[in-house]
Amino acid sequence: MEIIGFSAAILTTAAFLPQVYKTWKTKDVSGLSLPMLIMFFVGVFLWLVYGFYKESPSMIFANAITVVSAFFLMYFKIIYSKK
């Protein structure tokens, strides 16, 4: 059954990465909301903690990648908004 978790992890992570790439390339952060990014970052961090508690390899894998991606989006929002 862990294969279902990993399939889920790959699909939802892969659907999120193009957003990070697009923001990095275009530097267009006008459509991104900082409070929402912060909520999302904290939420994904808590999912990561919960994944360790549930001893779920697929949750740890997915949320470790997503927490880093969410951090970059927050970072882009802050640095590109200043211009």
Q: Any contact of residue 64 with a second copy (CB under 8 A)?
A: no
Minimum CB distance to a second copy, residue 83 (Å): 21
In terms of CB distance, is 24 or 50 closer to a second copy? 50
Q: Give the 3-state secondary structure of residue 14.
A: helix
Q: Is 65 in the site for a second copy (CB under 8 A)?
A: no
67 binds a second copy (CB under 8 A): no
Applying CB under 8 A, among 20, 43, 72, 74 the residue interacting with a second copy is 43
Return the structure tokens found at 68: 């880093």
- 34 touching a second copy, by CB under 8 A: no
